Chain A
Amino acid sequence: MLGAVALGLLVNEISDVSPWMAERLVRSAARLWSRDPQVAADYAEEWQAVVDERPGKLLKLCTALGFLAGAVQIRLGATIHGRRRALQHALRGIVWLNWLMGVSGTGTCLNILGAFPNGHLRETVSFAVVVLGFLVASGLEIRLTVRRRRAASDRSVR
């Protein structure tokens, strides 16, 4: 009996508070959606109008929660996407650095070991190593680009 009364009071209280809560949620969602304060303010007003169109206090709250969930998803997605891009750039940097170090390192080692009896052979080998390294690094770069484009095209609806 007491539990039923308490539950009734709780539901009533939540129902009364939900429009205020919905407004706060919509504002938070708009701030997450855009970092630009003016854009966020515009969205907050626009979404508040959408929330107001919904019948019932709890449905209004659910709509506001939906906007918040979408905004959180967008913000998280942007962060993950940004980190993935940074990782790709770092990998490319490592590949190219590796190539440069490989070229100079190979030349130096061959020089130290006295592998070049004459200057003409040294120039030919150095040139071949440079070309080979460039081809390998370019191949990796092309492969990364193709994979990225293929992934983007898979995400789109055919």
Chain B
Amino acid sequence: MSSIERVTQPTLDVLEALLAADRLELHGWAIMKTTKRAGPTVYKVLDRLAEAGWVTRSWEEQPPDANRPRRRLYRLTADGCSRARALLAQRRQVHLGQPKVLGTAGAA
């Protein structure tokens, strides 16, 4: 687990979305909807977070429709979760315990 090199606004948005999911797995589209960020922006951040070991990626086991491509799911690791909380508290000074309405959670 290493620290992330650049902490940008999209990074904070993605971390906030993943934290608000409360250890549920989110797929890329759900994160894009929650953060209201474009796909490439979100995936750049997810790449950096995955490289730093803050999030884990896994493919969904059973696609809802067999003809559809699989979705990849993202979840904060335990260490990533605590680091994300600390980072958000430092940068945004928000109450992270507040529930937030999210898009579709991947695991759901």
Contacts and interface: CB of A to CB of B under 8 A. Distances in A.
B70 interface: yes
Chain A interface size, under 10 / 10 to 19 / 20 to 34 / 35 or more: 20 to 34
B80 to A, nearest CB: 19
Interface stretch (A1-9, A47-55, A130-138): A47-55
Interface in A48-74: 48-50, 52-53, 63, 66-67, 69-71, 73-74
Given A46-B71, A49-B70, A50-B32, A157 B91 contact: yes
A70 B43 contact: yes
Nearest to A39: B47
Given A46-B71, A49-B68, A156 B40 contact: no
Given A156-B6, A156-B7, A157-B9, A67 B40 contact: yes
Contacts of A69: 40
Q: Which has the most chain A C-beta neighbours within 10 Å: B9, B12, B32?
A: B32
Q: Which has the most chain B C-beta neighbours within 10 Å: A48, A49, A71, A152?
A: A49
A49 B65 CA distance: 11
Interface string B28-63: 110010000011110110000000000000000000
DSSP class of A's interface residues: helix, strand, loop or mixed? Answer: helix
A74 B27 contact: no
Interface string A5-48: 00000000000000000000000000001000000001101111
Contacts of A70: 38-41, 43-44
A45 B69 contact: yes
Contacts of B93: none
B38 A48 contact: no
Contacts of B44: 70, 74
Contacts of A42: 72
Given A46-B69, A63-B39, A74-B44, A157 B12 contact: yes
Contacts of A147: none
Interface of B: 6-9, 12, 27-29, 32, 38-41, 43-44, 68-72, 91
24 contacts: A45-B70, A46-B72, A47-B28, A47-B43, A49-B27, A49-B28, A49-B69, A49-B70, A49-B72, A52-B68, A66-B38, A66-B40, A69-B40, A70-B38, A70-B43, A70-B44, A73-B40, A74-B40, A74-B44, A152-B6, A155-B6, A156-B6, A156-B8, A157-B9
